Amino acid sequence: MQTCRELGISTVGVYSTADRDSLHVRYADEAVCIGAPLGKDSYLNIPRIIAAAEITNADAIHPGYGFLAENADFAEVCSSSGIKFIGPQAEMIRKMGDKNTARETVVTADVPVVPGSKGLISDVKEAEQTAKEIGYPVIIKPTAGGGGKGMRVVTEARELAKALATAQNEAQQAFGNSGVYIEKFIENPRHVEIQVLADQHGNTMHLGERDCTIQRRHQKLIEETPSPAVDEELRARMGNAAVTAAAAINYEGAGTVEFLLDKHGNFYFMEMNTRIQVEHPVTEERYSVDLVKEQILVAAGETITGQTVSPKGHAIECRINAEDPKHGFRPSPGELQVFHTPGGYGVRVDSHGYASYKVPPNYDSLIAKLVVHADTREEAIERMLRALDEFIVVGIKTTIPFHKQLLLTEKFKSGIFDTGFLDTFNYEEAP
């Protein structure tokens, strides 16, 4: 909506009854209540969203990064209702949403994938044969999953049959699709993803990487660009692979290609997210590009030819969540009695919060993205620590004190860590 205001485009915000007081409702030129807090009654209710678009004469819908952002049926309904879905075509969402299909699609285009099964696993025999060929440990992944949901690591042959049955059952329960595939388990990787942007005329480009290695139970906590583990040469190779993956499906819009990076510097395609992501601001800061503006222009049919980007400096994002890091990151909803956000040179805060706002218990606990930009990684860390000190939240617990401690560790400062970082970093015991 901030981008739209700059472009002279008026906006409509939709909200559930739990979000009446959210800032996006006040920021929008018009707001429409679409129902009760449960997703199925509001944010996941396609007919209600289409109705809100129709009564306000909306030309397009930006799906954000949650709920229906990667829902192919929704993209299709928008299209058949004469409303531009700001994102890729339904077919592209479908292809990348099925993780096994995505894997098969990119492998055909010569994008490196982790050694694994040829297609979905149909029986134990096939699973045993595959695991024997690639060697243990292996990981079983649901094809309808993504983001780590429902994955199972198997370290030895005698565990495989049971793990396969459990994984298939869980996949059926969680996604209504029991399909699973097997990959070699890459131990202690880094999560490095490439931002891509493609127009409707066949032009595809990348805007470098984001390192999202600092995660807890598949929830990202810190993201940065450039990655401390990626040099110019590797960036070029990963960037090319990401562009190839996107071009393989004639992709349109902003997207993210996720890779695992192992300790030898080998990278492997994981999945492609067909939406703008939470952590996109670090790319915006380093590349001086408003990615949402690019999404809107590309959706309107403009080309990206001639766009050259000149990355500069280092950007870091800390996710400020309404959670208590001292108690297993349990949700901490409630009133923001004080909400003083940091500012100054090189500091950006994206938030729907304000003093007196009550964080509802219904949704994701993210309340602010704190993003800094500086010339070097060292300066960015210093700037982030300064900004975290300025950020005052009273009334609820947040991840602010956790970030302060984490950024001071020698391991984080060194830039040499992997996805196991938070398994050994113990916030409760730290001074």
Pairing of strands 12-16, 30-35: parallel
Alpha helices in 268-376 (DSSP H): 280-287, 291-299
Active site residue 275: yes
Out of 218, 263, 326, 330, the only residue in the binding site for ligand MV4 (CB under 6 A) is 218
Chosen residue from 53, 77, 186, 374 binding ligand MV4 by CB under 6 A: 186
Residue 86 per-residue DSSP state: S
> Quick one: tokens of 48?
């209600």
Nearer to ligand MV4, 202 or 420 (CB): 420
Residues in 123-142 that interact with ligand MV4 by CB under 6 A: 139
Q: Does 285 bind ligand MV4 (CB under 6 A)?
A: no
Query: Where does this chain touch ligand MV4 (CB under 6 A) — which range of 31-39, 180-188, 235-243, 246-254?
Result: 180-188
Q: Does 271 contact ligand MV4 by CB under 6 A?
A: yes
In degrees rounded to 5, what are phi and psi of residue 102?
-60, -45
User: Cα–Cα distance between 144 and 138 in angstroms, integer?
Assistant: 18
Residue with smaller CB distance to ligand MV4, 191 or 319: 191
Hey, which residues between 146 and 165 contact ligand MV4 (CB under 6 A)? 147-148
Interface residue with ligand MV4 among 94, 191, 206, 348 (CB under 6 A) is: 191
Tally of helices (H runs) and strands (E runs) in the chain: 15, 21
* Residue with smaller CB distance to ligand MV4, 267 or 357: 267
Q: Is 144 in the site for ligand MV4 (CB under 6 A)?
A: no
State in angstroms the smallest separation of the CB of 297 from ligand MV4. Answer: 29
In the complex, least distance from residue 112 CB atom to ligand MV4, rounded to whole angstroms: 12
| Count of residues making up the chain | 431
The DSSP bridge partners found for residue 30 are 12
Residue in 270, 314, 63 with CA at minimum distance from that of residue 181: 270
Q: Which is nearer to ligand MV4, 270 or 318 (CB)?
A: 270
Beta-carbon count within 10 A of 361 CB: 13
Q: Rank residues 179 and 342 by Cβ distance to ligand MV4 and give the closer one.
A: 179
Binding ligand MV4 (rule: CB under 6 A), the pick from 61, 93, 114, 245 is 114
Q: Which of 393, 422, 398 is nearest to 213 (CA)?
A: 422
Active-site residue, selected from the candidate residues 235, 275, 286, 383: 275
> Would you list the DSSP string of 244-277?
HHHHTTT--EEEEEEEEE-TTS-EEEEEEE-S--
Peptide bond between residue 431 and the one before it cis (omega within 30 degrees of 0): no
**CA–CA gap between residue 322 and residue 334 (Å, rounded):** 9
* Distance in Å, CB of 290 to ligand MV4, minimum: 27
- Least distance from ligand MV4 to the Cβ atom of residue 191, Å: 4
The set of catalytic residues is 275
What are the residues binding ligand MV4 (CB under 6 A)? 114, 139, 147-148, 183-186, 189, 191, 215, 218, 258, 260, 270-271, 419
